[in-house]
Amino acid sequence: MHNETIQVIPPTDYSALATIVAEYLTGTENILEIAKKCPGTTVGYYLGSELIGTAYGFPSEFDDGFSLDGIVVVEPYNAAGRGGKLLAFFEQQVAALGYSEISLGSADGYVERFYLKNGYRATELKILVPRGISWENHPAFPVAEVQTQGEYTKLVLRVDDYFAMDKDALTCHYHGEDSFFIFVKELQQP
């Protein structure tokens, strides 16, 4: 039986890190840059000497919090409680740096439930609407802020009750092409 450990990923394992990210976390082309800039918060789940999972992030561009950019435990090792342990270790590393909050944009379905189960709360729903498409406020879920993201207008809705919001129906109402929740967790300081 192999020993399971969670630790900061050493530079000698950056190649394995890049392979996992390329396969499981598309959209993070700059993982080696992130790992070099934030080595203490680029963490890995190891089975023996094999890297089977990672979590990483960086200081937020928008506030004094920290952003979780990616987390994964590879198949067939996922769905066995390892992701929650990996996330908890990542949170400890971030808290040790003095950050009081982690935020993230979440994928759909089971990923949202994973964050809820691990103490995160949804604070915003962001809907990407092609620029030039007109929209009207939803009576129960109005737009709180409008941002720009590339060729999209990003409509930001505040979340008071995650379970009361039908993301797909709201995305359709606002003529959006995509949407995602922002989750936040307050950290315990060491």
Residue 1 has pLDDT above 70, yes or no: no
Query: Which fold does the domain 4-105 belong to in CATH?
Result: Aminopeptidase (3.40.630)
CA distance 45 to 82: 8
Residue 142: per-residue pLDDT:
95
In the chain, beta strands by DSSP E? 4-8, 43-47, 50-59, 66-73, 101-105, 121-130, 145-149, 152-158, 178-186
Residue 190: per-residue pLDDT:
64
- How many residues in the chain? 190
Q: Which pLDDT tens digit goes with each residue over 129-182? A: 999 888 899 989 999 999 998 899 999 999 999 999 999 999 999 999 999 999
- CB distance 125 to 157 below 8 Å: yes
Q: Which pLDDT tens digit goes with each residue over 17-59? A: 999 999 998 777 788 888 888 889 999 999 999 999 999 999 9
